[in-house]
Amino acid sequence: MIKNTFTIFAGRASNALFLFLLTLVVSRQLGPAIFGVFSFLTTVVVSANTFSSLGLDIWMVREITKAPEKAKQYFSTILGLKAGTSVVTLLLVFLIFQATDLPETTLHLLWILSISLIFNTVSQTLWHYGDCFKEFAYHSFLWAASNIIKSLTGIALVLLYGELELLIIGIVFAEALALILSLYVIRRRFGPFAPKFQFSVWWDFLSRSAPIGLGVIFSVLYFRLDIVMLQLMTDDKVVGFYSAAYKLFEIVIVLPHSLMIVLFPSLVEVFHTDREKFKIILKKAFTVYFVVGSSIALIFFGFSNEIIGLIYGDNFLFSVKILEILAIAIALSFLIFLLSNILIVSGWEMTNTWSLIGATIFNIALNLAWIPEHGAIGAAWATVVCEITLIVILGLQSRKAFKEP
């Protein structure tokens, strides 16, 4: 497990590093306002990607772990299904934001970037396939390669031309290249495959993955809706200040996610075979998540001024206060991530989903109340209050899941 954890973390660390470098270049070269537009666009597309995935990748790993003989059947069908859902999601994104009062230039850029949905949605299924057989290096390598290609392309275009539109076009082409690479590597390791467009099976798969999918969707909405709401309720510069602090928050979440990719298949196995061992593993995981999350939170809170100044420069000093507030959420988010996955492993997907739906609605309500008066500071405090609420709810539900035979 240590080797797998290191492999996943190394891949995630390289992801975080190169995406951080892209964030650094875009924010410093293009300024807070343009950086705010860029953050809004990427937030929308990442959120839409979750809609098009519908929890199918996590569900695939869980089901193939339990029934390896069905691997190719599940894999091929889900590839075809996700190709279809990505196209539908792309159209929905365009129609939804066309009805808003966003500037025409922002809508134009959103339409271009949304094309990357098709490439990235399919790529993610390819990356997860190795996880089904505990061959995590493929997920780690391909995800890292995708983000390195995307980041280096973006950095080069920004430094050479300083144009946001060229950056967006470059990201789309980079996602296409990453898909080609993923297809080649997975086919070479696991043999030939082809997407199956079995419409009669699609509804069955969607209905079975829906509890996980809804949970993942609302988890992403919960963490990202504040940027969208700030864009619609304030201005580009405010979004840029908030995004600068929030990008650091996103980079830190690499750590709990990396460990869970390794833990998840093992937790599924021992939950059904050795409940005591399951509890032992969770106690160790809880300790690690709590210590690491709290330590990072203290560093971000104590050195927020130095961190923002060093990374973004004097133009982003307003982000210091936002980072101090979000530091509280960092420690909580580590534990929320663990508790949420405990419920999924235990078969309590709908409990996890309803908890996230409630937290998302609460977050929207707080943002609606606090953003008009307090702007980005209000959005940051809304995140903290919702994190506290969610960790209490998930903690209580996880205790019930433990007691169930």
At residue 114, the 3 state secondary structure works out as helix
Q: What is the pLDDT of residue 364?
A: 94
Can you say how many angstroms the Cα of residue 351 is from the centroid of all Cα atoms in its chain? 20
Which residues are within 8 A (CB) of 324 and not within 5 positions of it... i.e. 6 or more apart? 300, 301, 304
* Residues comprising the chain, all counted: 405
Distance in angstroms (rounded) separating the CA atoms of residues 42 and 243: 11
Alpha helix (H) residue ranges in 54-131: 56-66, 71-98, 104-114, 116-129
Distances 124 to 82, 186, 199, 278 between C-alpha atoms, Å? 10, 12, 21, 28
Interior CA angle at 13 toward 390 and 43, to 5°? 50
Sign of the CA dihedral running 51, 53, 58, 62: positive
- Cβ(194)–Cβ(80) below 8 Å: no
Can you say how many angstroms the Cα of residue 241 is from the centroid of all Cα atoms in its chain? 20
Distance in angstroms (rounded) separating the CA atoms of residues 62 and 94: 33
229 φ/ψ angles, rounded to the nearest 5 degrees: -65, -35
Which residues are within 8 A (CB) of 278 and not within 5 positions of it... i.e. 6 or more apart? 267, 270, 271
Per-residue pLDDT of the chain (405 residues; tens, 9 = 90+): 555 555 666 666 666 777 788 988 999 999 999 999 999 999 999 889 888 888 888 888 888 888 888 888 888 999 999 999 999 999 999 888 888 888 899 999 999 999 999 999 999 999 888 888 878 778 878 888 888 999 999 999 999 999 999 999 999 999 999 999 999 999 998 888 888 887 778 888 888 887 778 777 887 888 888 999 999 999 999 999 999 999 888 888 777 777 776 677 777 777 777 777 777 888 888 888 889 899 999 999 999 999 999 889 888 999 999 999 999 998 898 888 888 888 877 778 778 788 888 989 999 999 999 999 999 999 999 999 999 999 999 888 887 776 655
Q: What is the pLDDT of residue 273?
A: 74
What single DSSP character describes residue 131? G
Interior CA angle at 207 toward 201 and 212, to 5°? 125
Q: What is the pLDDT of residue 296?
A: 92
The token duo for 39 is 């953050």
What single DSSP character describes residue 405? -
Q: What is the pLDDT of residue 163?
A: 93
Distance in angstroms (rounded) separating the CA atoms of residues 383 and 379: 6
Q: What is the pLDDT of residue 253?
A: 78
Amino acid letter, 108: H
The token duo for 9 is 């973390």
Distance in angstroms (rounded) separating the CA atoms of residues 75 and 403: 34
CA dihedral 76, 122, 268, 340 (to 10 degrees): -150
Q: What is the pLDDT of residue 137?
A: 79
Q: What is the pLDDT of residue 404?
A: 59
